[in-house]
Amino acid sequence: MEGIVTTRQTNRAFAPARPLPILALPKVLLCDLDGTLIDTMPVLADLATEVMFGVYGIPKTLGRELYLATCGLPFIMQLADIFPGDARNPMASDLFEAAKPARCSSARMPADTRAALARLQDRGVRIAVSSNNGRANVEAFAAHADFPFDLVMGYGDGLAKGRPHIERCERAFGVGRGEMLFIGDSLHDGEIAQVEGLPFVGLAGTFSKESFQLRFPGKPVVQRFAELLDLFEGKATAIAANY
């Protein structure tokens, strides 16, 4: 009896791994910047920790946890969530924003990220940067990225990640929200997509794959940006918003 293998046992042993969801190719891909296109989140977390320790005197471990828990928002809004009504918030934000360019100016996209963007662009996908980093910082990144982005959007002058950026894409490219796709590394990015009815792919790193899956059941999650290519099939058409 020990040598007998039933059909049920055999099927279980050799069952194929569950494939990633297959999405239609979008007409516009909106990409978060920090933590998505470039690996700057550890640097920014270090800087935010230093600022919060120096200005508010909170333990560095706690400061880092609070920064990462609220990431995806402009830093001044993160501070408003962490220290509501604190008069020191504008000063702390100014310190953070002033030091950020020197800390992040050398960051570049990984080669496989750039190659994935180029392949998508070759297939007719318009590539847009949607970041809550300051506009000057985002534009400086794009100028040295060695990639021809179709649209670059940062925070300021009435623009912000979320509805303002999405509406600008709608005007610039003449597309609907179901024809776009947003990829980001924060839970806040997923919340934006959910509120605005935008298809979304999470990029694990700042938050774990399990955190994305728990917060957004059924949404695709990739470990590296270049894995986004494995999700697409066919021509650019509307993506179902429940993906």
Residues 67-94 have pLDDT tens digits of 999 998 999 999 999 999 999 999 999 9
Residues 228-238 have pLDDT tens digits of 999 986 444 44
Same domain, 64 and 174: no
Same domain, 82 and 130: no
Residue type, 76: I
Q: What local confidence, expressed as pLDDT, does residue 29 receive?
A: 98
Structure tokens at 169: 């894409």
Check whether 180 has a pLDDT greater than 90: yes
Domain total of the chain:
2
Same domain, 137 and 232: yes
What's the chain's average pLDDT? Answer: 89
Residues 116-133 have pLDDT tens digits of 999 999 999 999 999 999
Same domain, 188 and 162: yes
Q: Are 207 and 214 in contact (CB under 8 A)?
A: no
Three-state SS at 38:
strand
Count CB neighbours of 76 within 10 A: 16
Per DSSP, what are the bridge partners of residue 201?
183
pTM beyond 0.75, yes or no:
yes
Q: Please tell me which residue, 66 or 241, carries the higher pLDDT value.
A: 66
Q: Which of the four pLDDT bands, split at 50, 70 and 90, describes residue 22? A: confident
Same domain, 188 and 123: yes
Share of the chain above pLDDT 90, in %: 81
6 assigned to some structural domain: no
Q: Are 213 and 221 in contact (CB under 8 A)?
A: yes
Structure tokens at 3: 């040598």
Q: Are 198 and 177 in contact (CB under 8 A)?
A: yes
Check whether 214 has a pLDDT greater than 60: yes
**Among candidates 211, 151, 154, 222, which has minimal Cα distance to 187?**
211
Dist. CA 221–CA 204, nearest whole Å: 7
Q: What local confidence, expressed as pLDDT, does residue 233 receive?
A: 65
Same domain, 72 and 168: no
Check whether 15 has a pLDDT greater than 60: no
Check whether 3 has a pLDDT greater than 80: no
Give the CATH number, domain containing residue 129. 3.40.50.1000
CA 182 to chain centre: 8
**Among candidates 180, 130, 172, which has minimal Cα distance to 155?**
130
* Domain region containing 65: 41-104
Strands (E), the chain: 23-25, 28-31, 126-134, 151-155, 180-184, 200-203, 221-222, 232-236
* Axis-axis angle for helices 60-69, 41-56 (nearest 10): 130
Q: Please tell me which residue, 141 or 15, carries the higher pLDDT value.
A: 141
163 assigned to some structural domain: yes
Q: What local confidence, expressed as pLDDT, does residue 130 receive?
A: 97
Same domain, 90 and 163: no
Check whether 62 has a pLDDT greater than 80: yes
Q: Are strands 28-31 and 23-25 parallel, antiparallel or unpaired?
A: unpaired
Dist. CA 207–CA 68, nearest whole Å: 9
